[in-house]
Amino acid sequence: MPTVQTKAKNFLKQGLDKLNRGNYPGALESFQQALRIDPNFTEAYVCRSIIHYYQGNHQEAIEDCNQVLRINPRNADAYNNRGLNRVALGDYKGAIADFAQALENEPKHVKAYLNRGYSRLQLEDNWGAIEDFDRAMRIDPQAARVYLQQVADTLNTKPGAIKDTHQQLVQGLLVEGNLRYESGDYQEAIEAYTQILRIEPNNSEAYNRRSTARSALGDYEGAYEDLYRATVYYLNEEQSLQATQVPMVQTTVEDYHQRGLEKLKKGDFQGAIEDFNQVLHNSKDGECTLSQRFAIALTCRGFAYQRLGNNQRAFEDLQQAANLFSQQGDVKSSQHILNTLKKLQP
Which of 73, 105, 137 delimits the end of a domain? 105
| Residues near 19 by beta carbon (within 8 Å), at least 6 away in sequence | 27, 47, 50, 51
Q: Are 31 and 44 in contact (CB under 8 A)?
A: yes
Q: With contact defined as beta carbons under 8 Å apart, do 291 and 270 qualify? A: no
- Report the distance separating Cα 225 and Cα 209, nearest Å: 12
- Has residue 200 been placed in a domain? no
How many CA atoms lie within 13 Å of 337's alpha carbon, on the beta-carbon side? Answer: 28
Among residues 82, 105, 128, the one where a domain terminates is 105
CA distance 269 to 261: 10
Measured CA to CA, the distance from residue 319 to residue 311 in angstroms comes to: 12
- In the DSSP assignment, the letter for residue 91 is -
Judge whether 146 lies within some domain: no
In this structure, is residue 43 part of a structural domain? yes
pLDDT of 113: 93
Which among 105, 133, 150 is the end of a domain?
Answer: 105
d(CA 292, CA 295): 5
62 neighbors 75 (Cβ within 8 angstroms): no
CA angle 163, 199, 201 (to 5 degrees): 120
Give the structural domain span for 47.
Answer: 4-105
- d(CA 72, CA 67) in angstroms, rounded, equals 9
Q: How far apart are CA 263 and CA 164, in angstroms?
A: 33
CA 286 to chain centre: 39
Q: What is the pLDDT of residue 289?
A: 42
**pLDDT (0 to 100) of residue 334:** 74
pLDDT for residue 153: 53
pLDDT tens, 63-107?
A: 999 999 999 999 999 999 999 999 999 999 999 999 999 999 999
Position 254 in a domain = yes
Residues 105 and 72 sit within 8 Å (Cβ to Cβ): no
Tell me the residue type at 240: S
In-domain check, residue 113: no
Number of structural domains in the chain: 2
Count of Cβ atoms closer than 10 Å to residue 16 Cβ: 16
Q: What is the CATH number of the domain that holds 314?
A: 1.25.40.10
Model's pTM, two decimal places?
0.53
What is the structure's pLDDT at 5? 78
Three-state SS letters, 251-267? HHHHHHHHHHHHHHHHC
What pLDDT is attached to residue 146? 77
Rounded Cα gap, residues 194 and 203, in angstroms = 10
Q: Are 239 and 231 in contact (CB under 8 A)?
A: no
Task: Give the model's pLDDT for residue 220.
Answer: 64
81 lies in some domain: yes
pLDDT at site 283: 67
Give domain status of residue 192, yes or no: no
The answer to whether residue 13 is domain-embedded is: yes
- H or E element that contains 234: helix 220-245
Which parts of the chain sit beneath pLDDT 50?
156-163, 240-251, 285-290
